[in-house]
Amino acid sequence: MHRAHVFIPALALLLPTIGAQEAVEAKAPSPAAPAAVSKAFAKAKVHNQRVLAILTETGNDVAAALKKDKTLLRPLLYEFETVQLTGKEADAMAVQWKLPYALAEKPALAVLAADGKVLARLPREEFVAEGGIDGAKLLGKLKQYCCEPVDAEQELAAGIALAKKTGRAVFVRFDAPW
């Protein structure tokens, strides 16, 4: 019989305990979705995040511009899994996510839950000002879509219970941003 091993230093913050197989089974938006979108959903599920989909023209790196903005860098890094789509991929996802304005004018943003549900649609005028990205304005729009923190004690208890049932060990990560 295998025993579950748990290492818990004081004041540790825990991430949800999700097995590798569960992480792979994250629901993708559709079979036609690009691999980058499916990967973003899987990561978002594991790390308790939302997906920020950036639909843009080819050659326009909006994701890099967002990360250069000091007001956006930390919230984007900790709260959102960012994926940028260009060209035909962007147009296909705009149709699927019901973003008609994204077909006509880019960049456009969509905030999605880890299961693929569209939580918010942000057309260009909601985050672009004077030809550039307005970080404060965008952050104001995105804050309401951040995930609720997980209860570390409940997650640990569920992980230990599952480990006892399956004869596996519990692996605890200590790099959570919250």
Q: What is the pLDDT of residue 49?
A: 92
What is the pLDDT at residue 162? 93
114 shares a domain with 46: yes
Do 114 and 62 share a structural domain? yes
112 with 136, same domain: the answer is yes
Same domain, 24 and 57: yes
Give residue 70's domain range.
20-146
Q: What is the CATH number of the domain that holds 51?
A: 3.40.30.10
Tell me the sheet residues that pair with 56: 86
Return mean pLDDT, the chain. Answer: 78
Domain total in the chain: 2
Residues 74, 43 share a domain: yes
Assess whether 127 and 173 both reside in one domain: no
How high is the pLDDT of residue 165?
95
More confident residue, 39 or 19: 39
Residues 27 and 2 in one domain: no
At 163, give phi and psi (nearest 5°): -65, -40
Q: Do 51 and 128 share a domain, yes or no?
A: yes
pLDDT tens, residue by residue, 93-146: 999 998 888 888 888 899 999 999 999 999 988 888 887 888 888 888 999 998
Residue pLDDT, tens place only, 23-56? 333 344 444 568 889 999 999 998 889 999 998 8
Give 147 or 16, the one with higher predicted confidence: 147
Q: CA 16, CA 3: separation in Å to the nearest integer?
A: 20
Place of tokens 């962007």: 90
